[in-house]
Amino acid sequence: DAKTTQPPSMDCAEGRAANLPCNHSTISGNEYVYWYRQIHSQGPQYIIHGLKNNETNEMASLIITEDRKSSTLILPHATLRDTAVYYCIVRVASGNTGKLIFGQGTTLQVKP
């Protein structure tokens, strides 16, 4: 599985958009980009995933560059409850290697 690189920490003002970057320059053609977050004392929570097209759901948007070597998770209107560690993970979409390999993630601090 390809490795990802994320900044260790970021701050964001409440109500503003939070843009979390992720580099995955060695991503393979059959690997998806997944985002999870982990709020203190809770298990990881699935946010969104994508292959090559941009994706949007009720929680966030995922922008993947055309060469697929990097992506950005966008929380459009961050709230204090979005303070968490955000993990960017690349994962093979088929075959028998379905596990998620977590890195250190980005600690997002949303400030009032």
Partner 1 sequence: EAGVVQSPRYKIIEKKQPVAFWCNPISGHNTLYWYRQNLGQGPELLIRYENEEAVDDSQLPKDRFSAERLKGVDSTLKIQPAELGDSAVYLCASSLGISGNTIYFGEGSWLTVV
The count of residues interacting with partner 1 (CB under 8 A) is 23
Please report whether residue 8 would count as binding partner 1 according to CB under 8 A. no
Site string for partner 1, 11-30 (x = CB under 8 A): --------------------
- Token digits of residue 62: 């995922």
- Judged by CB under 8 A, does residue 101 bind partner 1? yes
Look at residues 90, 110, 92, 98 and name the one whose alpha carbon lies nearest to residue 5.
Answer: 90
80 binds partner 1 (CB under 8 A): no
Work out the burial of residue 55: count CB atoms within 10 Å of its CB; fewer than 13 is exposed, 13-18 middle, 19 or more buried: middle
Q: Is 10 in the site for partner 1 (CB under 8 A)?
A: no
Considering the rule CB under 8 A, would residue 52 count as an interface residue with partner 1?
no
Q: Which of 3, 16, 99, 111 contacts partner 1 by CB under 8 A?
A: 99
- Which residues here bind partner 1, judged by CB under 8 A? 32, 42-46, 49, 87, 91-105
